[in-house]
Amino acid sequence: MIRLSPETYEQIAAVSHQAARRGDYRPIPGNLDSSLSAALRRQGVDRLYSHQARSLELVREGRNVVITTASASGKSLCFNLPVLDELAAGGKARALYIYPTKALAQDQIRQIQGLELSGVRPGIYDRDTPSDHR
């Protein structure tokens, strides 16, 4: 629970709570780069949550997206899919991900590296990065 100051509390426009529900799934889009689709399937991902598929659509339309869901609900694919799709297709995309902890950054880079996509070269830059790798 986040504690709010009286000033902050007055800025809240709405508060709601939604009960947990079963996952709503969509097929992996047919227009996703074939090497990315294959990599996802190798990792056991044969469908997307509806919020993952919808966020991919919106990003492709040039829209800004905010995802708020529970832990382990697939938020990472919401931002990784558009970037990885562009890179796997030979695009010149670049992405900067900022994580609050080193452990989370390490976990995320392992997931991306595990896809083994050509043209995708993730790296970590933090104070422990050797100067010759910066």
pLDDT in tens, 70-85: 888 899 999 999 999 9
Below-50 pLDDT ranges, the chain: none
Superfamily of domain 24-123: P-loop containing nucleotide triphosphate hydrolases (3.40.50.300)
**Confidence (pTM):** 0.79
Q: How confident is the model at residue 104, as a pLDDT?
A: 93
Q: How confident is the model at residue 72, as a pLDDT?
A: 83
- Stated as kind and residue range, the H or E segment containing 26 is strand 25-27
Distance of alpha carbon 131 from alpha carbon 102, whole angstroms: 18
Q: Please, are residues 35 and 118 in contact by the beta-carbon 8 Å criterion?
A: yes
- In the chain, where the domains are located: 24-123
